[in-house]
Structure 1
Amino acid sequence: MSSRKFSIVSGFFLQDDQVHATPATIGALPPRFGLVDDSPECWSKFKSRIAELNDNASSGTTYKVFFLGRHGQGWHNVAEAKYGTRAWDDYYSKLYGDSEMTWGPDPLLTALGVQQAETARTAWLKEIPNGMPTPQRCFASPLHRALSTWQITFASDESFPQVMRKVMILENLREEHGVHTCDMRDSRSLIERNFPPPTYGFELGFTEEDAVWQADVRETKDHIKGRAQSVLDRIFDDTEETYISITAHGGIINGILAAVGRPSYSLPTGGVLPLVIRGDDV
């Protein structure tokens, strides 16, 4: 696998403005997913511009469009809001739940989380007839909340193209791991029972048991950035397709942002962050 230098091509989406993009103002799913151009031909012009970038790129340079989706609200999100981030990080995240809810291991979506994924599906269904490019490859975290979000958003509607209704599960797309029980994953066998083939596929070498989560060591931001870089390298190496969907978590999404040289972005649960990413061979 080769290594690349990645960067953001700005000017397409509200969210790619590193200075003025404010997640709380933009929201989870802004009109046109944040595309700045609001003309009737906005998506056809966008696709033409992306094709032009690739057609005119020098050898070793490729442009891809990523739709980075964060899972809908999970029970761990409710628990952190209930206890506050400091108490959550210091104590409650190490438990499996309280008298009101269970958040570990691998918590489920709440009713609101399901609704957020349904809202994302509605947003896609609204824009596709307007010419919005659809993902040609889908990738997802192995954690239940991410796979459920992907399932509700894409797999549950047969009007989406067939290629959009299959997903590859990558270990490196999981959330920041260690210490917090919500970031433990289920066994491969259990994941496969809940999310069966052929809709769901596992990357080669995906282990039966969770081999990375540790009860006493929290993953560092540098490590997250490194595995995000490996995901980008893999996608740029192994896929010829231009339009890519990733359904994952806030931590790994910010790892991807770090790998492409931009600040973190507090994407709301159920939100989608679209980015044009340039990859240059090094």
Structure 2
Amino acid sequence: MGSTSPATYNHVAIKGFFAQDDTGTDAETYDYRKHNLSIAVRSYETDTPETVTFTQWQRFEFYLRHLNAQAPADTHYKLLIAGRHGQGFHNVAEDFYGTQAWDDYWSKLEGNGTMNWADAHLTDLGKEQALEANAFWRLQLEVAKMPAFESYYVSPLYRCLQTANLSFEGLELPKERPFRPVIKEMLRETMGEHTCDRRSRRDYIQKAFSQWVIEDGFSEDDELWLADHRETWAEHDVRTRKLLDDLFSNDTGMFVSLTAHSGAIASLLRVTGHRAFKLPTGSVIPVLVKGVKRI
């Protein structure tokens, strides 16, 4: 991953495969755990008499492999499944103080004397949400026959590192598809001003997650976070496009896990043309993305 200079792509979310891209699906009441991740019950052009006994996930996987096999050399399809971290202490603080007071004052502090939220860690509820995701993935793999992820990418902010670890550790995975995440800067939350979005030092992260891969070029200190400037949506979208260019240039996998943040996932949906779909903490959304290399 990241071994060659990324090409630039046009990235488009393909509709009709998951309920979350349907405007009739209510994001406010949606619970991914109750709906088999809302993979659409539908037919595919690759269906045959032999696949009639396959699960919906198995038939979708067969179809996605067909799409990539038939696509031109400059076109790739990937299923990106983006999970928002579990509840962090910064979420508790914002709920307590209110968004306006949080944005104007409290978010710029390290904590309030009772709890700290600089590079916020998970609360007990946040840990429970990640363990619920673990149970969900276990059922998806064992019962629904969902294909195991080929790649795992995680934001370097501590709440995401914890979430990914609790969500995927201990699952029975194919030997050729182990859980070995890559920590990537471009998956971070909207950067600047809020101390909860300032990451820890590289050596601190490496010590806590020693078996994980940290991408090349990852600095010791956080050189991206600024105390006096909050990233705009347009600025965030620029780095999301860079992230997608990197994935489509350097990762040959079709089933990719992203553990990130509400702002990062919202940016992913914007740049791919997916409908807005707000996720509560600990929730997940699948996005089928077609990437076409620009000339």
**Matched residue, 1:236:** 248
**Matched residue, 1:207:** 219
Secondary structure in structure 2 of the residue aligned to 1:116:
helix
Q: How high is the TM-score relative to the length of structure 2? A: 0.90
| Matched letter for residue 26 of structure 2 | T
Residue 56 of structure 1: CA displacement? 2.1
**Matched residue, 1:25:** 29
Among 143, 150, 160, the alignment partner of 2:164 is 150
Secondary structure in structure 1 of the residue aligned to 2:33:
coil
Structure 1: gaps of 5 or more residues: none
**Whole-Å Cα distance in 2 between the matches of residues 112 and 95 of structure 1?**
23
Provide the identity percentage: 37
Deviation by residue 1:144-203 (Cα, 9 ceiling, x = unmatched): 100000000112x15233534100011111111100010010000000111112xx1111
Secondary structure in structure 2 of the residue aligned to 1:78:
helix
**Matched residue, 2:130:** 117
**Whole-Å Cα distance in 1 between the matches of residues 171 and 78 of structure 2?**
25
Residue 57 of structure 1: CA displacement? 1.6
Query: Structure 1 pair 86/185, CA: closer, same or farther in 2 (3 Å)?
Result: same
Contact 2:155/2:260 (<8 A) preserved? yes
Q: What aligned pairs does 1:252-271 form with structure 2 within 5 A after superposition?
A: 252-271=264-283
Contact 1:28/1:267 (<8 A) preserved? no
Secondary structure in structure 1 of the residue aligned to 2:130:
helix
Deviation by residue 1:49-72 (Cα, 9 ceiling, x = unmatched): 212211222331111011101100
**Matched residue, 1:58:** 72
Residue 101 of structure 1: CA displacement? 1.7
**Matched residue, 1:101:** 115
**Matched residue, 2:286:** 274
**Matched residue, 2:97:** 83
**Matched residue, 1:35:** 39
Query: Structure 1 pair 274/30, CA: closer, same or farther in 2 (3 Å)?
Result: farther
**Whole-Å Cα distance in 1 between the matches of residues 158 and 111 of structure 2?**
17
Residue 28 of structure 1: CA displacement? 4.5
Contact 2:121/2:158 (<8 A) preserved? yes
Contact 2:188/2:264 (<8 A) preserved? yes
**Whole-Å Cα distance in 2 between the matches of residues 6 and 257 of structure 1?**
10
| Matched letter for residue 182 of structure 1 | C
Q: What aligned pairs does 1:136-147 form with structure 2 within 5 A after superposition?
A: 136-147=150-161
**Whole-Å Cα distance in 1 between the matches of residues 275 and 92 of structure 2?**
26
Contact 2:138/2:171 (<8 A) preserved? no
**Whole-Å Cα distance in 2 between the matches of residues 168 and 189 of structure 1?**
15
Residue 90 of structure 1: CA displacement? 0.9
Secondary structure in structure 1 of the residue aligned to 2:72:
coil
Deviation by residue 1:227-247 (Cα, 9 ceiling, x = unmatched): 111111101100111110010
Contact 1:154/1:164 (<8 A) preserved? no
Contact 1:107/1:144 (<8 A) preserved? yes
**Matched residue, 1:184:** 198
| Matched letter for residue 221 of structure 2 | E
**Whole-Å Cα distance in 1 between the matches of residues 87 and 96 of structure 2?**
13
Contact 1:23/1:268 (<8 A) preserved? no
Matched, 1:128 2:141: yes
Instruction: Tell which deviates more after alignment, 206-215 or 55-64.
Output: 55-64
Query: Structure 1 pair 30/5, CA: closer, same or farther in 2 (3 Å)?
Result: farther
Off by >4 Å, runs of 4+ in structure 1: none
Residue 40 of structure 1: CA displacement? 6.6
Secondary structure in structure 1 of the residue aligned to 2:228:
coil
Q: How high is the TM-score relative to the length of structure 1? A: 0.94
Secondary structure in structure 2 of the residue aligned to 1:150:
helix
How many residues are paired up? Answer: 277
Matched, 1:14 2:16: no
Matched, 1:219 2:236: no
Secondary structure in structure 2 of the residue aligned to 1:55:
helix
**Whole-Å Cα distance in 2 between the matches of residues 79 and 45 of structure 1?**
44
Secondary structure in structure 2 of the residue aligned to 1:275:
strand
**Matched residue, 1:246:** 258
Query: Structure 1 pair 274/179, CA: closer, same or farther in 2 (3 Å)?
Result: same
Secondary structure in structure 2 of the residue aligned to 1:276:
strand
